Every structure is written in C-alpha cells, then in structure tokens.
C-alpha cells in the first residue's frame, strides 16, 4: 500500500495523506465502469442532460469551497479559482442545453436506400489522465461531452489534487449521476499503462507532459484504441507595428496578465512575445516595469498578483533552467529569475531577452511566470519566428490593421489562432493543437465527436 500527501505550495507544509489503489483493485474498478456504462448508455438524453445541468448548479453553489481546495492543492489564487469554476459551470450547462442538437443524427443523401444517416453512439468506459494546473476545468471539458454521449469515465488526476478530484465525482453523483459512471481513483502514473491496455477501456484522454503523452499513445496504439492528447505549448504573441503609445500600453497589460495568469502554469499562455525591431526597446522597457511590479502572495491573499508554483520541485526546476541559460549565454535575465526566500514554492516573475531559440529555454516550454521577448525585422520574420517551434497549440496577433492581423494569424501553424485576444477558452469553441502540443479536439461539438462511434445506418426495402 502506497500513500501520497497534499502539500500546500503556499506554505510548504503537508496537510493530509491519501492512499493509492492497489494493482489488484483494477478489475473491480473496470468491472464497475463497464456495468455502469451498459446502464448509462441506455439512459435518455433528457436524463443525461438533466444531470449535467444540475452539476453546473452545484459547481456554482459550492464555488468558494471548491476554490479553497485548489488553492491548498496547487496554489491557485482565489480570484483565478473562481474564474476557472465559472468556465466549468458554462461547460456543463452548454452540453445540457445543446444535448439534442449535439447528439442528433446526421442525415445523408439516400444513395440507393430509403434512409441513410449517421448516429452518435458511445464507445464504452474511458480513462482520463488529468493535470493539476486547472483541476476542475480539465476534467469538465473531458467529462461533460462524454457523459452526455453515454460513456462511463475513470479519472486518474494528478496526485497533488486529491480534494478537487474527489469533488468532481461527488458533485456529479449529488447531481444524480448513477454510481460507477464516474470514478475518481487515486493511482500512480506507473499504474496507468495497465489501465490503458485493458480491453475494458475503450479510449484514453490525457492532458499533461509530452513524456506521459507518448507513453499513453504508444500503449493505446498497440491495443487499437483511440487516444486524445493535449500537451504543452510555446505560444507566440505577435505585436504588429504602428501602435500608438496608448494601444501599446493596453497590449502589454494584456500580455503580462495572460502570461502570468495561474502563475504562468497554462499550456496555452502566450509565452513568446514577438515584436518588430522599431518597437523592441519600448516593449522591453514596458515589460520590465510591469513584471518587476508584480507581487507574489499565498493563494488566499487578495492583494497577490501571482501565487506560488505548484510545488517546490517545480519552482526549483525552472530556476535552475534560468540560471543555466544565463550562465551559458543563451538568454539574458532582465527581471527576476530567482527563488524567493520564504516558505512555499515562490519565485520572482521573470523577463528574458536575447534568447537563443535553439536553446532549452527557447525551444522547450517554461511552465511558470517567465516571459520571453524576441524581435523581428518585419511581419514575415515574425511569422517565421512564431512557427520555428515543434509546438502548435495556439497563437495570437495584435494590431489595429485587422486585415493584416487576420492574414498573419492564419499563417500560424497552430490549432487555435486569435486576433487581439489570446488564451481564449469557452464551451462552444474547439480546443487543441498540433505537433508536440498533441492531437484531437475538446469542447463544442468536437468534444462529443472524439470518443463516439459514428454509426452508419442504411435502410432499404426488401422489395425492389
């Protein structure tokens, strides 16, 4: 029997201990998921939608308690936690309100039959391997569409999220979801390969590291089952030329807010700011001023601008990478870059310039409060820099020439492009990337389509 601990990253203290499942528990978990699936898939669409609608209400009613869970677990500031829960409420309500539209049969031309159509059928129990950075949102965007479709779900959340992961199950069951349709399990990453390979699991969705994603995809492929991967990002943020001082100030405010949101621990945060040469100096000066003024604080500090990292180990890994880049000349630390001498997993918000795009900090994601600025000779060069990455999650273009901005955004080799906004997520918008950022799409109609059987049905008369 193995245990793991809830360690509060704001204080560095251990607050509780939890017990992981044994390998021998797997059969009972998957038998329960299979039995629940066989019943849930036959439940009416109206009843499934009713459960999702009630879940949305419960998330809304319990926002403060749920926010405190993830504050203690991974250090999320309360204002950010409330915002995350607001998106979760929207997701569950979206799938409840659009249930019949999303699950409607698609009529096709008859093609020598009386009736030809495609219906959406569930496929079976699914495994979800979820990260700690958005503990409720990541689960909701996987769970809501698949519960609506009729699949049953087994959740393996990050080990630092024991309170929020169990709350995901408890709230759904309080909303009327039958026992066994959604199971939260406390398990280690090393136990997941056997789950993925098990024939009772019909598919697996993973949001997390590239290493974990590669392992899951390999096992899923070997066992002929669908996988969806949402991995890292190194998203570009291109500022076109010709902005007034007022417009530039507004854009820089937006960039800093987006980059430092969730203490920089967001896969779709704009990590690489790319600006034309003529604006480079004023952009760097503006970022130095803004980033140096950010105030770190504990998760429940209403005056904090950023919180702690998710763990002391995560903080130390980033600080060590920054120190290495500074010492070998592959980046210049303009602001911050050091661990704070206080309890918990705090570090200084950081600004890097003169970054070698082929070095570690240039080509690999930094999952923390670190902004990077590149300069480009013109728009074509900016696009070249933006696309010089193995990641392809999202990207944004900012400027007053909307035609040029849209044309530039369309040239980005990413799954999601934005003009004069970034990091946008909503229940009705598809989410996902390409390259090292993974494959597959979540949310909107695409969330229903990833783990469904697009079941062709044709009806012909026995008589000609």
Decide: helix, strand or coil at residue 423.
coil
Single out the catalytic residue among 73, 84, 230, 442: 230
* Structure tokens given for 28: 């009972």
d(CA 7, CA 406): 45
d(CA 411, CA 391): 15
Q: What distances in angstroms separate CA 392 from CA 388, 431, 432, 447, one per listed residue?
A: 10, 12, 9, 19
**Nearest Cα to Cα of residue 41 among 431, 441, 349, 451:** 451
Q: What angle do CA 132, 133, 137 make, to 5 degrees?
A: 90
Burial tier of 214 (Cβ tally within 10 Å: 0-12, 13-18, 19+): middle
95 contacts 427 by C-beta, under 8 angstroms = yes
* Structure tokens given for 128: 């979800």
Pairing state between β 350-353 and 115-122: unpaired
**Nearest Cα to Cα of residue 301 among 39, 61, 53, 80:** 80
Q: Is 341 a catalytic residue?
A: no
Distant-in-sequence, close-in-space partners of 259: CB < 8 Å, separation ≥ 6: 269, 270, 271, 273, 369, 371
Burial tier of 44 (Cβ tally within 10 Å: 0-12, 13-18, 19+): exposed
Q: Which residues are catalytic?
A: 230
């Amino acid at each position: 029997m193995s245990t793991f601990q809830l360690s509060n990253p704001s204080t560095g203290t251990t607050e509780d201990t939890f017990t992981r499942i044994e390998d021998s528990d797997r059969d009972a978990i998957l038998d329960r998921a299979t039995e629940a699936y066989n019943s849930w898939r036959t439940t009416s669409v109206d009843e499934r939608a009713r459960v999702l609608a009630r879940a949305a209400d419960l998330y809304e009613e319990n926002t403060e308690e749920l926010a405190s869970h993830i504050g203690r677990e991974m250090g999320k500031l309360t204002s950010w936690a409330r915002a995350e829960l607001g998106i979760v409420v929207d997701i569950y309500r979206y799938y409840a309100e659009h249930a019949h539209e999303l699950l409607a049969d698609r009529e096709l031309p008859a093609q020598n039959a009386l009736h030809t159509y495609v219906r959406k059928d569930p496929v079976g129990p699914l495994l979800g391997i979820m990260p700690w950075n958005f503990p409720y949102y990541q689960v909701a965007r996987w769970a809501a569409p698949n519960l609506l479709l009729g699949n049953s779900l087994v959740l393996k959340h990050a080990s630092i999220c024991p309170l929020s992961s169990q709350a995901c199950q408890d709230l759904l069951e309080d909303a009327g979801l039958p026992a066994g349709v959604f199971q939260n399990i406390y398990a280690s990453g090393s136990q997941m390969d056997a789950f993925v390979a098990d024939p009772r699991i019909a598919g697996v969705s993973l949001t997390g590291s590239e290493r974990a994603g590669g392992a899951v995809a390999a096992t899923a492929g070997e066992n002929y089952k669908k996988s969806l991967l949402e991995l890292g990002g190194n998203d570009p943020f291109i500022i076109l030329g010709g902005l007034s001082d007022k417009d530039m100030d507004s854009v820089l405010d937006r960039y800093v807010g987006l980059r430092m949101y969730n203490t920089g621990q967001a896969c779709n945060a704009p990590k690489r700011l790319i600006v034309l040469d003529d604006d480079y100096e004023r952009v760097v000066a503006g970022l130095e001023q803004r980033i140096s003024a950010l105030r770190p604080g504990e998760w429940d500090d209403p005056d904090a601008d950023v919180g702690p990292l998710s763990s002391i180990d995560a903080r130390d890994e980033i600080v060590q990478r920054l120190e290495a880049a500074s010492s070998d000349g592959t980046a210049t630390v303009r602001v911050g870059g050091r661990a704070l001498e206080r309890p918990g997993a705090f570090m200084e918000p950081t600004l890097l310039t003169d970054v070698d795009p082929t070095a570690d900090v240039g080509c690999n994601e930094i999952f923390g409060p670190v902004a990077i600025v590149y300069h480009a000779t013109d728009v074509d060069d900016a696009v070249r820099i933006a696309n010089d990455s193995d990641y392809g999650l999202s990207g944004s273009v900012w400027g007053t020439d909307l035609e040029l901005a849209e044309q530039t955004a369309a040239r980005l080799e990413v799954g999601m492009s934005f003009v004069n906004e970034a990091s946008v997520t909503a229940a009705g918008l598809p989410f996902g990337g390409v390259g090292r950022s993974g494959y597959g799409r979540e949310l909107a109609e695409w969330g229903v389509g990833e783990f469904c059987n697009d079941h062709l049905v044709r009806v012909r008369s026995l008589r000609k």
